[in-house]
């Protein structure tokens, strides 16, 4: 990873990472967070900011396949790693079965938690294709939803696992 | 709420990392998981001049059983690594369970065992059970490494025995005769809650005789603390419900909780009583069902 | 053939694909060329005089484009409640709570904004502050607003029938006192607003529940004609009452945008949201009820005090609602309501889901259980004996048409197995019941106007392949865009799949007051129905010409026009629509809705009036850990009378969500302050909203109901299920453990303490109860 001082003496780092399958090289500051790199520099605004402290799960992305809060990851730390955001879940026009299931089970209301919720569920189902209800609830317990009481979200994830 | 500026370093060896830390004295912080450090920086609680990332330092992320040493856990191991470790499942399930009780899944994926220890937050979930299991920590510094008993390592709220230029390399749970240990976390919701109290117990039994016992209380003193009088009540005795209850009462007296927004001192003390009993019962049950 | 072809079906939400793919743009996701980022500086003191504000250092910081204080903005006071305009865009003379707005910065990027905020130097003279409403009302307490002596924000004294006489006749008169806590809506999306000017015209993209009220108050503040203010709602990440009124972001952003000549995006962080607040009031509630020996309520007196915080917000309505809604579920004639809403040096409270109703309902439902226990009557039976019946009028003159309170209670009793469980569950387990009712839209708007409450336009595309519904109704996640499209399609005889919608943009969509008071399905729905029927009538007229039939004998369903007399004679909607366009130009339908004149003439009579009321009964089963006080809710049954259902899946989802909020408020959630009025838990870690691991099994069931005042018979559902929950859990905890916690939240520690006190008392008295 290369660092260059800009004319104000601030270090800028050139990092390379794979985002939703695309190899990208970008320049970030040391204190740039992954969530802000995604949203502000790469315009991937499907990743949301909700609390900035790792409590709400709105900014959940997959980092090398694991669900992480992108508000707690420095962009420089993502150098050389693979990231999946909500924009990378569908295969072009074809929605992922989790996305389909969220729609079919009325698991979406305001939608602000939905991206993170789907990515947490995606990480779970990839590792554990047939989870129990408790495993589903544990996997999404770090994704707060203020609209649904999680009822239909849990139903949607279990249904996607069945499918 | 924004991350302040800092110098960022990505050394490739521990030696190099220690050197950078040495240059900054107390003004640098080690960045591993970041789940505790970054929120503190965003909220202006900490403003280190430099962050020294361990990302490119290889190793320190395995959990292995090493004959003669015990279970050796790399400092960069995440809580979810602890949750999923078959070595821990076979040897110290209670450590996996304690890790599972932490924060939320995202944080459990990113955080590290070393962070949970070094940040020395009184409510941290891993130190009580690790202390109950007599764990040690190995610190690497510019002139070599040293090993400390974890019980002595945490010295106060956000204070430990680590020197500014040292880095934790591993945590070792020594081989021991006990198979009965348990950690109970009492939080105010089922996920994403800090412990109001955490109680760990490890027992070595001979039939119904308590040969040895260690009880460690979390979130009720500046550091995780042994309930030594409670241990004395049990050690060398034949265990009974009354004795367990007495140990619980003793632990409730021994602890030094504060009142805060989560709970009053009085409530915390009584929860220490309740969960000391529950942790002891579970540890004894596991020990007895194992032998 | 089914009666309806589009409504009554669980069609997928119209925005669901955008939301599962991350395409949906919320205000914070939008970028405009040349856009700046802005943020508000707030007060660190609960009560302090502003002596001086020095912005010079901030202005010098590279990247900072503007710094503004009260000197740069209109000094006209505002507030969502016209009865008390008491807020300024920025504080002028003094700050009144920790978080009061003092200045704002616009800069090139977020990092610079945060740095600049730290460089603004404000000199304060700290004043004594008051945080408790009773202390605030006392003689000699710090005066928060000069205009409001003794910190009385509003005082209500209502008296219907003769309560004293009722109490004199009563077999039992009982008084209980309860306290409801401060909670916060805590939508997952933080508020944000982007303001930009083109000449004299201001456009604001924002996270709002009501573009109309935003437009109205922004125009008023800047002295602009309404037509020069365009407010556009983007996707909104939840509101629950917290996004109903302008937040300061719009005002400050508009000024910063005008000064810099650039678009400015303003935003709150989570802790700013907690400080801006407008959440649930803390309320001290004393309830006295007189009943006859069978438990029939003869009269009731509610005597409340509210902590309103530093400003009015929607609090006057909250204060009236607190008492007004207590008369709905049970039939009694004599009712007295006394209320004082006090100013304190804490964040302002406003309307949170169930506006004003949930806490008094908690108090009343607990109190009634106490009455039932004292009389030896099953609490559910007591409620059945008092349940309101259809076509009745409450003592405070609310006209209730449809009302299936009795059926809700009976069904809840049946599906929860109440009779086998009540008083018979093993120790530690308990079951409780409570009821609730809510308005289906407020009978009167927030400020006085004779504008219709809702309006709709439907434009059929030239080839008839789609129709776009234009409504001011505001989808904040609850799904109004979806159900209104269903309603439009039904009224037009069209298909849901071909509906498009443009909503909540003050320039392109017709007027609507927005998403609050559970109003849109009934009110916006009525306007949409009318617009749809208008389209259909014009279409049938055209089809009549094309088919050489009397239009009166034609109808249209699912996109097919047919003769009612000769059903095989059909024409496609598309062909007729196209022909209409060719002959007459755009095919447009219009509709509007104004509620009938409602309510009495006494002071405060309009608050709580509604064309229709929903009713609900909830039963919950809880498990309490006797040693720790930990509460696990195992199962909740909610039975609702919400009239005709347009979209069952979305309706039940509303019940789940409303219950979720009620559940959080019942057990976990409370905004806590230190001794200086600073919030201790302005985050999602210590402000404990339930996680997926905390939620019980929820059974949401319905009773048959049809409301004559609503289109197709609809009523509200969005807020109703929040209302019974707190009382329901409290009653279940009592059933489980024999202890009553008289303040919210029913925290583990409070339950533990109550159990401890009970044990100590029993030890002392030697009495034994379950």
Nearest to C613 by CA among C646, C641, C653: C641
Q: Is C353 on the interface with A (CB under 8 A)?
A: no
Res C249 pLDDT > 80? yes
Tens digits of residue pLDDT in B199-258? 999 999 999 999 999 999 999 999 999 999 999 999 999 999 999 999 999 999 999 999
Same domain, B133 and B162: yes
Compute the distance between CA of residue B175 and CA of residue B136 in angstroms, rounded to an integer.
12
- Whether A142 sits inside 8 A of B106 (CB atoms) is yes
pLDDT at residue A1, rounded to an integer: 79
Q: Is C606 on the interface with A (CB under 8 A)?
A: no
Chains contacting C (3+ CB pairs below 8 angstroms): A, B
Q: How many CB pairs under 8 A join A and C?
A: 173
- Whether A1 sits inside 8 A of B106 (CB atoms) is no
Q: How many CB pairs under 8 A join B and C?
A: 49
Chain C positions in Cβ-Cβ contact with residue A53 (cut-off 8 Å):
270, 683-685
Res C764 pLDDT > 90? no
Produce one character per residue of C215-224: b if its CB has 16 or more CB atoms within 10 Å, e if not.
bbbbbbbbeb
**Residue extents of the structural domains in chain C:** 16-22+453-593, 31-127+188-238+243-276, 282-443+601-765
Chain A positions in Cβ-Cβ contact with residue B109 (cut-off 8 Å):
63, 66-68
Using alpha carbons, list the distances in angstroms from residue C470 to B25, C358, C506, C527, C588. Answer: 64, 34, 10, 11, 11
Give me the mean pLDDT over the C554-574 stretch. Answer: 96
In words, the CATH class of domain C31-127+188-238+243-276 is alpha beta
Nearest CB among A50, A53, A109 relative to C478 is that of A109
Nearest CB among A110, A136, A141 relative to C189 is that of A110
Q: CB C350: neighbour CB atoms within 10 A?
A: 28
Q: Is A139 on the interface with B (CB under 8 A)?
A: yes
Nearest CB among C270, C681, C694 relative to B261 is that of C681
Q: Is B263 on the interface with C (CB under 8 A)?
A: yes
**Superfamily holding A97-162:** [2Fe-2S]-binding domain (1.10.150.120)
SS3 B233: helix
Give me the mean pLDDT over the C662-686 stretch. Answer: 97
Domain-located, residue B58: no
**To 10 degrees, what angle do helices C648-667 and C725-737 make?**
60
Produce one character per residue of A76-95: b if its CB has 16 or more CB atoms within 10 Å, e if not.
bbbbebbbbbbbbbbeeeeb
Nearest CB among C110, C684, C686 relative to B261 is that of C686
Chain A positions in Cβ-Cβ contact with residue B103 (cut-off 8 Å):
54, 142
What architecture is the C16-22+453-593 domain classified under in CATH? Answer: 2-Layer Sandwich (3.30)
Tally of domains in chain B: 3
- Whether A141 sits inside 8 A of C692 (CB atoms) is yes
8 Å CB contact between C121 and C134: no
Q: CB B241: neighbour CB atoms within 10 A?
A: 9
Chain B residue with the nearest C-alpha to that of C626: B274
Whether the CA torsion C189, C191, C194, C200 is positive or negative: it is positive
**To 10 degrees, what angle do helices B265-290 and C748-765 make?**
90
- Whether A154 sits inside 8 A of C477 (CB atoms) is no
Res C768 pLDDT > 90? no
Compute the distance between CA of residue C552 and CA of residue C549 in angstroms, rounded to an integer.
8
Chain B positions in Cβ-Cβ contact with residue A73 (cut-off 8 Å):
34, 110
Nearest CB among A45, A103, A150 relative to C12 is that of A103
Compute the distance between CA of residue B32 and CA of residue B54 in angstroms, rounded to an integer.
6
Domain-located, residue B2: no
Q: Is C16 on the interface with A (CB under 8 A)?
A: yes
- Whether C656 sits inside 8 A of A148 (CB atoms) is yes
In words, the CATH class of domain A2-85 is alpha beta
Token reading at C139: 């003689």
What are phi and psi for residue B288, nearest 5 degrees?
Answer: -75, -35
Same domain, B240 and B199: yes
- Whether A50 sits inside 8 A of C189 (CB atoms) is yes
Same domain, B16 and B85: no
**Strand B180-187 to C264-267 pairing:** unpaired
Token reading at B17: 């990392």
Give me the mean pLDDT over the C606-628 stretch. Answer: 97
Chain C positions in Cβ-Cβ contact with residue A70 (cut-off 8 Å):
none
C→B contacts (Cβ < 8 Å), by residue, are 110-111, 114, 269-271, 627-628, 630, 668, 672, 680-681, 684-686, 688, 690-694, 747-749, 752-753, 756
Nearest CB among B2, B190, B263 relative to C694 is that of B190
Token reading at C225: 């004609």
What are phi and psi for residue A49, nearest 5 degrees?
Answer: -110, 125
Mean residue pLDDT of chain C comes to 97
CA distance C440 to chain A (A): 19
Q: Is A155 on the interface with C (CB under 8 A)?
A: no
Tens digits of residue pLDDT in A74-84? 999 999 999 99
Nearest CB among B35, B55, B192 relative to A77 is that of B55
Tens digits of residue pLDDT in C331-390? 999 999 999 999 999 999 999 999 999 999 999 999 999 999 999 999 999 999 999 999
What are phi and psi for residue B102, nearest 5 degrees?
Answer: -80, 140
Burial of residue C295 (number of CB atoms within 10 Å: 0-12, 13-18, 19+): buried
Comparing C16-22+453-593 with C31-127+188-238+243-276, is the CATH topology the same?
no
Compute the distance between CA of residue C741 and CA of residue C370 in angstroms, rounded to an integer.
12
Tens digits of residue pLDDT in B75-115? 999 999 999 999 999 999 999 999 999 999 999 999 999 99
We report the CATH number of the domain holding residue B28 as 3.30.43.10
* Helical (H) or strand (E) element with C399: strand C399-400
- Whether B189 sits inside 8 A of C686 (CB atoms) is no
Nearest CB among B6, B80, B106 relative to A54 is that of B106
pLDDT band at A7 (very low <50, low <70, confident <90, very high): confident
Chain B positions in Cβ-Cβ contact with residue C271 (cut-off 8 Å):
1
Res C769 pLDDT > 50? no
pLDDT band at C770 (very low <50, low <70, confident <90, very high): very low
Nearest to B283 by CA among B162, B209, B179, B211: B179
Compute the distance between CA of residue B165 and CA of residue B146 in angstroms, rounded to an integer.
13
Question: How many residues can be counted in chain C?
Answer: 770
Chain C positions in Cβ-Cβ contact with residue A28 (cut-off 8 Å):
none
Of C19, C352, C665, which to mutate for an interface test with A (greatest number of A Cβ within 10 Å)? C19
Q: Is A10 on the interface with C (CB under 8 A)?
A: no
Token reading at B161: 């025995």
8 Å CB contact between C439 and C518: yes
Q: Which residues contact B31 (CB under 8 A, 6 or more apart)?
A: A74, A77, B37, B51, B52, B53, B54, B55
DSSP one-letter code for C524: I
Chain A residue with the nearest C-alpha to that of B32: A77
Q: CB C588: neighbour CB atoms within 10 A?
A: 15
Res C535 pLDDT > 70? yes
C residues 689..708 contacting A (CB < 8 A): 689-693, 695, 698
Nearest CB among B6, B53, B80 relative to A31 is that of B6
Strand partners, C174: C289
C229-232 CB contacts, 8 Å cutoff, 24+ apart: C229/C201, C229/C202, C229/C204, C229/C506, C230/C201, C230/C202, C230/C203, C230/C204, C230/C505, C230/C506, C230/C507, C231/C203, C231/C204, C231/C206, C231/C505, C231/C506, C232/C203, C232/C204, C232/C205, C232/C206, C232/C504, C232/C505, C232/C506, C232/C507
C residues 255..284 contacting A (CB < 8 A): 269-270
Nearest to C214 by CA among C310, C80, C83: C80
Tens digits of residue pLDDT in A96-118? 999 999 999 999 999 999 999 99
Q: Is C478 on the interface with A (CB under 8 A)?
A: yes
Res B146 pLDDT > 80? yes
Chain A positions in Cβ-Cβ contact with residue B39 (cut-off 8 Å):
52-54, 72
* Helical (H) or strand (E) element with C405: helix C405-416
**Residue extents of the structural domains in chain A:** 2-85, 97-162
- H-type alpha helices, chain B: 14-24, 37-42, 79-84, 86-91, 93-100, 105-110, 113-118, 126-132, 150-153, 228-234, 241-254, 265-290
We report the CATH number of the domain holding residue B153 as 3.30.465.10
Tens digits of residue pLDDT in A121-134? 999 999 999 999 99
pLDDT at residue B178, rounded to an integer: 73
8 Å CB contact between C106 and C256: yes
Locate tokens 């977020």: which residue? C110
8 Å CB contact between B262 and B197: no
**To 10 degrees, what angle do helices C358-375 and C379-386 make?**
110
Tell me the residue ranges of DSSP E strands in B174-259. Answer: 180-187, 195-206, 209-218, 225-226
Q: Is B143 on the interface with C (CB under 8 A)?
A: no
Same domain, B47 and B132: no
pLDDT band at B291 (very low <50, low <70, confident <90, very high): low
Give me the mean pLDDT over the C669-683 stretch. Answer: 98
Q: Is A18 on the interface with B (CB under 8 A)?
A: no
8 Å CB contact between A18 and A83: yes
Question: How many residues can be counted in chain A?
Answer: 163
DSSP characters for C707-765? -TTSGGGB---TTGGGTTHHHHHHHHHHHHHS----BSS--HHHHHHHHHHHHHHHHHH
Q: How many CB pairs under 8 A join A and B?
A: 93
Domain-located, residue B253: yes
Chain C positions in Cβ-Cβ contact with residue A56 (cut-off 8 Å):
188, 270, 684
Nearest CB among B51, B80, B106 relative to A60 is that of B106
Token reading at C197: 């000017």
Give the structural domain span for B134.
63-173
- Whether C660 sits inside 8 A of A47 (CB atoms) is no
Res A40 pLDDT > 50? yes
CATH number (1.10.3720.10, 3.30.413.10, 3.30.70.2660, 3.30.365.10) of C282-443+601-765 reads: 3.30.365.10
Percent of chain C with pLDDT over 90: 98
Chains contacting B (3+ CB pairs below 8 angstroms): A, C
- Whether A76 sits inside 8 A of B10 (CB atoms) is yes
């Amino acid at each position: 990873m290369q660092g260059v001082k800009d004319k104000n003496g601030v270090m800028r780092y050139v990092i390379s990472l794979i985002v939703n399958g695309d190899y990208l090289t970008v320049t970030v500051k040391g204190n740039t967070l992954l969530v802000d790199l995604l949203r502000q520099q790469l315009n991937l605004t499907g990743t949301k900011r909700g609390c900035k402290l790792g409590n709400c799960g709105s900014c959940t992305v997959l980092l090398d396949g694991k669900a992480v809060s992108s508000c707690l990851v420095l962009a420089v730390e993502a150098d050389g790693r693979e990231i999946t955001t909500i924009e990378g879940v569908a295969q072009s026009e074809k929605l992922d079965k989790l996305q389909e299931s969220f729609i079919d089970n009325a698991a979406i209301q305001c939608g602000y938690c939905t991206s993170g919720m789907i990515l947490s569920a995606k990480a779970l189902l990839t590792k554990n294709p047939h989870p129990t209800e408790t495993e589903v609830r544990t996997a999404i317990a770090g994704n707060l939803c203020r609209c649904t009481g999680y009822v239909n979200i849990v139903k949607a994830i279990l249904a996607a696992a069945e499918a | 709420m924004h991350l302040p500026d800092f110098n960022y370093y990505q050394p490739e060896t521990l030696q190099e990392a220690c050197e950078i830390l040495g240059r900054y004295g107390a003004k640098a912080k080690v960045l591993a998981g970041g789940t505790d450090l970054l929120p503190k920086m965003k909220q202006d609680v900490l403003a280190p001049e430099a962050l020294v990332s361990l990302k490119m330092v290889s190793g320190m992320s395995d959990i292995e059983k090493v004959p003669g040493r015990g279970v050796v856990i790399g400092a960069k191991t995440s809580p979810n690594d602890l949750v999923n470790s078959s070595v821990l499942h076979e040897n110290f399930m209670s450590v996996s369970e304690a890790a599972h009780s932490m924060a939320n899944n995202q944080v459990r994926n990113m955080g590290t065992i070393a962070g949970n220890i070094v940040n020395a937050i009184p409510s941290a979930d891993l130190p009580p059970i690790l202390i109950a299991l007599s764990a040690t920590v190995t610190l690497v510094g510019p002139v070599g490494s040293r090993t400390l008993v974890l019980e002595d390592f945490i010295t106060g709220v956000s204070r430990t025995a680590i020197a500014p230029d040292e880095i934790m390399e591993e945590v070792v749970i020594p081989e021991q005769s006990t198979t009965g240990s348990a950690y109970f976390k009492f939080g105010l919701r089922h996920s994403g809650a800090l412990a109001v109290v955490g109680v760990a117990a490890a027992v070595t039994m001979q039939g119904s005789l308590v040969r040895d016992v260690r009880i460690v209380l979390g979130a009720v003193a500046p550091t995780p603390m042994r309930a030594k009088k409670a241990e004395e009540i049990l050690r060398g005795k034949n265990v009974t419900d009354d004795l367990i209850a007495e140990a619980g009462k003793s632990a409730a007296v021994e602890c030094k909780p504060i009142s805060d927004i989560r709970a009053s001192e009085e409530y915390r003390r009584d929860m220490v009583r309740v969960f000391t009993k529950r942790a002891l019962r579970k540890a004894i049950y596991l020990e007895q069902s194992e032998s | 053939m089914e009666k309806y072809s589009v409504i009554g079906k669980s069609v997928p939400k119209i925005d669901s694909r955008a939301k599962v793919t991350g395409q949906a743009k919320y205000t914070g996701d939008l970028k405009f060329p040349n856009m700046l980022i802005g943020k508000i500086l707030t007060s660190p003191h609960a009560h302090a005089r502003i002596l001086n504000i020095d912005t010079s250092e901030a202005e010098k910081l590279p990247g900072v484009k503007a710094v503004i204080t009260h000197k740069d903005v209109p000094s006209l006071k505002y507030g969502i409640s016209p009865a008390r305009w008491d807020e300024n865009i920025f504080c002028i003379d003094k700050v009144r709570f920790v978080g009061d707005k003092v200045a704002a910065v616009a800069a090139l990027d977020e990092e610079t904004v945060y740095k600049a905020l730290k460089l603004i130097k404000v000199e304060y003279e700290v004043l004594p502050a008051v945080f408790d409403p009773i202390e605030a009302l006392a003689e000699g307490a710090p005066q928060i607003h000069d205009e409001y002596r003794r910190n009385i924000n509003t005082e209500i004294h209502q008296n219907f029938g003769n309560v004293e006489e009722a109490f004199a006749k009563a077999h039992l008169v009982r008084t209980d006192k309860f306290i409801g806590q401060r909670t916060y809506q805590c939508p997952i999306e933080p508020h944000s607003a982007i303001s930009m000017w083109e000449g004299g015209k201001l456009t604001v993209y924002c996270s709002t529940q009501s573009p109309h009220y935003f437009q109205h108050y922004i125009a008023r503040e800047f002295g602009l004609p309404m037509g020069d203010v365009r407010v556009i709602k983007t996707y909104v990440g939840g509101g629950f009452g917290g996004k109903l009124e302008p937040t300061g972001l719009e005002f400050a952003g508009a000024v910063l945008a005008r000064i810099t000549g650039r678009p400015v995006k303003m935003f709150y962080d989570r802790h700013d949201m907690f400080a801006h607040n407008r959440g649930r009031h803390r309320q001290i509630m004393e309830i006295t009820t007189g009943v006859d020996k069978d438990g029939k309520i003869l009269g009731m007196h509610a005597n409340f005090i509210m902590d309103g915080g530093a400003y009015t917000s929607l609090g006057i309505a909250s204060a009236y609602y607190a008492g007004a809604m207590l008369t709905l579920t049970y039939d009694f004639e004599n009712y007295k309501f006394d209320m004082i809403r006090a100013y304190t040096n804490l964040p302002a409270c406003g309307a949170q889901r169930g506006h004003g109703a949930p806490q008094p309902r908690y108090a009343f439902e607990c109190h009634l259980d106490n009455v039932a226990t004292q009389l030896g009557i099953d609490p559910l039976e007591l409620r059945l004996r008092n349940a309101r019946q259809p076509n009745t009028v409450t003592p405070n003159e609310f006209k209730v048409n449809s009302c299936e309170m009795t059926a809700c209670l009976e069904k809840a009793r049946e599906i929860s197995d109440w009779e086998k469980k009540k008083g018979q569950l093993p120790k530690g387990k308990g079951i409780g019941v409570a009821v609730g009712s809510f308005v289906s839209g407020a009978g009167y708007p927030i400020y006085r106007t004779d504008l219709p409450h809702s309006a709709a336009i439907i434009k059929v595309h030239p080839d008839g392949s789609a129709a776009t519904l234009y409504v001011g109704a505001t989808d904040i996640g609850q799904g109004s865009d979806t159900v209104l499209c269903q309603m439009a399609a039904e009224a037009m005889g069209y298909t849901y799949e071909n509906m498009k919608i443009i909503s909540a943009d003050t320039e392109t969509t017709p007027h609507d007051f927005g998403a609050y008071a559970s109003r849109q399905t009934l009110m916006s729905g009525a306007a949409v129905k009318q617009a749809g029927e208008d389209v259909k009538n014009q279409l049938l007229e055209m089809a009549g010409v094309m088919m050489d039939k009397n239009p009166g004998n034609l109808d249209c369903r699912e996109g097919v026009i047919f003769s009612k007399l000769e059903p095989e004679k059909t024409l496609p909607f598309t062909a007729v629509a196209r022909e209409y366009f060719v002959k007459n130009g755009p095919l447009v339908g219009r509709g509007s809705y104004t509620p009938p004149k409602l309510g009495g003439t006494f002071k405060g009579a309009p608050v709580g009036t509604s064309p229709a009321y929903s009713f609900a009964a909830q039963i919950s089963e809880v498990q309490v850990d006797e040693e720790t006080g930990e509460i696990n809710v195992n199962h909740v049954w909610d039975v609702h009378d919400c009239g005709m259902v347009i979209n069952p899946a979305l309706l039940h989802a509303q019940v789940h969500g409303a219950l979720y909020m009620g559940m959080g408020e019942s057990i976990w959630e409370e905004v806590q302050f230190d001794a200086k009025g600073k919030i201790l838990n302005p985050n999602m870690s210590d402000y404990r909203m339930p996680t997926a691991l905390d939620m019980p099994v929820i059974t949401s069931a319905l009773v048959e109901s049809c409301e004559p005042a609503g289109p197709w018979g609809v009523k509200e559902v969005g807020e109703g299920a929040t209302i019974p929950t707190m009382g329901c859990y409290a009653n279940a905890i009592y059933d489980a453990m024999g202890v009553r916690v008289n303040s919210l939240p029913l925290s583990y520690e409070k339950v533990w303490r109550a159990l401890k006190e009970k044990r100590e008392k029993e030890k002392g008295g030697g009495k034994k109860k379950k």
